[in-house]
């Protein structure tokens, strides 16, 4: 039985056992909402509402935690604390002050508030820091009234992150103010295998989204990243192949060192629900055991990485090591991608790359030859493969003299990008 089968069986059991449902919000980068929706549906959760930059969904607490631990796409997962209908800032203060904050926060715990607006709320409220301040005042005044004391703010390393989302309701009457508890702490996209040093690495959840948007079949296709940089696409592909939950390194820290590596592990609502705590601890141990086995089952000669820069290759090796990927699983080489192809490889497979594209690295002019010559190499040496290029620059894209069969939009931070697919016959 693989890890996913176990997970599905447990979630059936849970839905029978747990009566109450909670509301969760999973955030993700722009244009990745569709993939996030697929992931949520894959967890058997159907009560969902798609928003810009994330998805609201309802499920029981344990299923919400399982989703957080398994999502490759979400940046963060939040649990709803309060939903308020307000007309203005004053209303926000008055309603928020009456909320039962002591149910989620102790006087000794620190907190931080972040506010996000939709487009309409942005033009009305304008300043998100000022709105966060109002919510902070409501929270501390609530505590002061009851205990004559208040919890402190910590913007660096808070015990509890709170998110306030202000949106215009469908009937345009007033504002919906949703207050959420950040269940993650550190963002889920920080898998924990990366060290800084490369100029333009892909964020891990974006890299996972790119791999999932190709037609790579982990059971039979080779995976070749010809400009692998620090190896993010390779590592995310290997995690997908092994069905390894992307948060596994944080799970490892919890199991081996009892580190509270996810914020929810120290949150009151979680600790007080003993049945959720018990199931979660068991599930974290299951993930840990599964990973030990899954990494050992990976086979050699499926994953190939190449880069022209030795420093990046060294970082890539370090990341593979940090990610627990055994030696020999990725065949690394140091070549110019405009000439490189791994010897003795045979289709089927996916040959992918995220070449430099000017904004962050080399100048555009120096890249034109790279794009053109790379396209020629694909044509000549990768017959029968499916080629993918992830880039932002339209002009550079045109230098590749190959027919594009698919264009998938993405954002890399604020940079609009495309994943382009080429058939290499
Ligand atoms: C945008 S970065 C890739 C980042 C990578 N996806 C990651 O997450 O770390 C582009 C990479 O292309 C490599 N590169 C540039 N020109 C190359 C060439 N001619 N052959 C091979 N690699 C090249 C650079 O060294 C750099 O590591």
- pLDDT 10s digits, 191-245: 999 987 666 789 999 999 999 999 999 999 999 999 999 999 999 999 999 999 9
- For residue 70, give both structure tokens: 């398994």
At 412 the three-state DSSP class reads: strand
Q: Which of 355, 373, 392, 396 to mutate to test the pocket of ligand 1 (most atoms within 8 A of CB)?
A: 355
What pLDDT does residue 197 have?
A: 63
What pLDDT does residue 357 have?
A: 82
User: Euclidean distance between the first and final Cα of the chain, in Å?
Assistant: 38
Q: Which of 356, 357, 419 to mutate to test the pocket of ligand 1 (most atoms within 8 A of CB)?
A: 356
What pLDDT does residue 198 have?
A: 63
| 141-179: pLDDT as tens digits | 999 999 999 999 999 999 999 999 999 998 889 999 999
- From ligand 1's centre to the CA of 243, what distance in Å? 27
**Mean pLDDT for all residues in the chain:** 92
What pLDDT does residue 13 have?
A: 40
| 313-354: pLDDT as tens digits | 999 999 999 999 999 999 999 999 999 998 888 999 999 999
How does strand 175-182 pair with strand 222-225? unpaired
d(CA 72, CA 236): 9
> Contact, 361 vs 395, CB < 8 A?
no
Give residue ranges with CB within 6 A of ligand 1: 198, 200-202, 227, 229-230, 232-233, 307-309, 312, 336-338, 354-356, 370
Structure confidence at residue 6 as a pLDDT band (50, 70, 90): very low
- From ligand 1's centre to the CA of 361, what distance in Å? 10
- From ligand 1's centre to the CA of 101, what distance in Å? 48
Say whether pLDDT at 370 is over 70.
yes
> Contact, 27 vs 56, CB < 8 A?
no
What pLDDT does residue 4 have?
A: 53
Structure confidence at residue 359 as a pLDDT band (50, 70, 90): low
**Total-model pTM:** 0.93
Closest by alpha carbon to 81, among 95, 66, 67, 63?
A: 95
Which ligand 1 atom sits nearest the alpha carbon of residue 232?
8
What pLDDT does residue 18 have?
A: 45
Say whether pLDDT at 393 is over 90.
no
Closest by alpha carbon to 299, among 325, 278, 271, 273?
A: 325
d(CA 404, CA 290): 39
- From ligand 1's centre to the CA of 106, what distance in Å? 48
Say whether pLDDT at 16 is over 70.
no
Structural domains in the chain? 3-182 (3.30.2130.30), 204-242+299-423 (3.40.50.150)
Q: Which of 195, 204, 308, 367 to mutate to test the pocket of ligand 1 (most atoms within 8 A of CB)?
A: 308
Q: Of all protein residues, whose CA lies closest to atom 17 belonging to ligand 1? A: 308
- From ligand 1's centre to the CA of 247, what distance in Å? 26
Q: Of all protein residues, whose CA lies closest to atom 27 belonging to ligand 1? A: 229
What pLDDT does residue 303 have?
A: 97
d(CA 236, CA 221): 15
What percentage of the chain exceeds 90 in pLDDT?
Answer: 87
- From ligand 1's centre to the CA of 201, what distance in Å? 9
Which ligand 1 atom sits nearest the alpha carbon of residue 309?
25
Neighbours of 345 (CB within 10 A): 16
- From ligand 1's centre to the CA of 313, what distance in Å? 10
412 DSSP β-pair partners: 415
| 244-301: pLDDT as tens digits | 999 999 999 999 999 999 999 999 999 999 999 999 999 999 999 999 999 999 999 9
> Contact, 151 vs 108, CB < 8 A?
yes
Which ligand 1 atom sits nearest the alpha carbon of residue 374?
19
- From ligand 1's centre to the CA of 307, what distance in Å? 6
Number of H helices, E strands in the chain: 14, 14
19 sits in the region (left: phi over 0; alpha: psi -120 to 50; else beta) called alpha
């Amino acid at each position: 039985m693989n890890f996913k089968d176990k997970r599905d069986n447990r979630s059936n059991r849970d839905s029978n056992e747990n009566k109450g449902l909670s509301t969760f919000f999973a955030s993700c980068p722009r244009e990745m909402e569709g993939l996030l929706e697929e992931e949520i549906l894959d967890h058997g959760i159907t009560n969902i509402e798609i928003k810009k930059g994330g998805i609201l969904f309802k499920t029981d607490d344990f299923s919400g935690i399982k989703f957080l631990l398994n999502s490759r796409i979400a940046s963060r997962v939040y649990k709803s604390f309060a939903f308020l209908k307000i007309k203005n800032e004053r209303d926000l203060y008055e309603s928020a002050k009456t909320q039962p904050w002591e149910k989620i926060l102790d006087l000794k715990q620190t907190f931080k508030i972040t506010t996000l607006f939709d487009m309409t709320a942005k033009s009305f409220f304008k300043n998100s820091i000022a709105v966060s301040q109002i919510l902070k005042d409501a929270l501390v005044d609530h505590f002061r009234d009851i205990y004559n004391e208040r919890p402190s703010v910590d913007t660096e390393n808070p015990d509890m992150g709170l998110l306030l989302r202000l949106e215009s309701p469908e009937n345009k009457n007033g504002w919906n103010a949703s207050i959420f508890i950040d269940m993650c702490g550190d963002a889920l996209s920080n898998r924990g295998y990366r060290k800084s040093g490369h100029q333009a690495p892909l964020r891990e959840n974006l890299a996972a989204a790119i791999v999932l948007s190709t037609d790579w079949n982990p059971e039979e296709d080779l995976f070749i990243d010809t400009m692998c940089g620090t190896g993010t696409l390779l590592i995310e592909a290997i995690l997908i192949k092994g069905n390894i939950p992307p948060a596994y390194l944080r799970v490892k820290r919890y199991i081996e060192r009892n580190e509270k590596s996810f914020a929810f592990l120290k949150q009151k609502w979680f600790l007080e629900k003993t049945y959720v705590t018990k199931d979660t601890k068991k599930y974290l141990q299951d993930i840990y055991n599964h990973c030990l086995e899954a990494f050992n089952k990976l086979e050699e000669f499926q994953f190939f990485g190449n880069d022209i820069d030795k420093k990046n290759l060294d970082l890539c090796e370090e990341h593979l090591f940090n990610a627990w990927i055994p030696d020999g699983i990725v065949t690394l080489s140091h070549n110019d991608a405009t000439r490189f192809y791994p010897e003795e490889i045979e289709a089927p497979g996916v040959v992918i790359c995220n070449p430099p594209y000017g904004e962050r690295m080399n100048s555009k002019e120096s890249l034109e030859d790279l794009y053109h010559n790379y396209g020629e190499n694909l044509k000549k040496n990768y017959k029968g493969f499916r080629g993918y290029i992830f880039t932002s620059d339209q002009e550079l894209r045109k230098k590749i003299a190959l027919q594009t069969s698919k264009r998938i939009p993405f954002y890399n931070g604020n940079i609009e990008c495309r994943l382009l697919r080429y058939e290499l016959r």
